[in-house]
Amino acid sequence: MRSIIIAMLSCGAFAFAAAAAEKPVELKPGPGADKVEANCAACHSLDYIKMNSPFLNAAGWDAEVTKMIGAFGAPISPADATTIGDYLKAHYGQ
């Protein structure tokens, strides 16, 4: 039992150290980047933006913003949603 607890604590310490060494995601500069960082990073890593950018066109980004608000309840104002969508389409669209 003691060895299990030690193993669990060791794994947790390793995971914490690995997370601490992660570099923050830097978005491409542009109008709306601040709204993306403030609204999107409140719920998930900004890595998702870079990971999905090869797959999403303008309609795809609009659908993602709509999904985050409608399905997941992201508290984003309509004005910020438009700004976020415009930023994502301009900097991470196909």
DSSP state of 84: H
Report whether 57 contacts 9 (CB < 8 A).
no
Q: Which CATH number is 25-92's, of 1.10.3720.10, 1.10.760.10, 3.20.20.70, 2.40.30.200?
A: 1.10.760.10
Domain residue ranges in the chain: 25-92
Query: Quick one: average pLDDT of 11-29?
Result: 67
- CA–CA separation, 49 and 42 (whole Å): 13
Q: Please give the full DSSP string across 55-67, using - where no structure is assigned.
A: T--HHHHHHHHHH
Query: Quick one: average pLDDT of 23-27?
Result: 87
Helix (H) or strand (E) holding 79: helix 78-92
pLDDT in tens, 41-80: 999 999 999 998 899 999 999 999 999 999 999 999 999 9
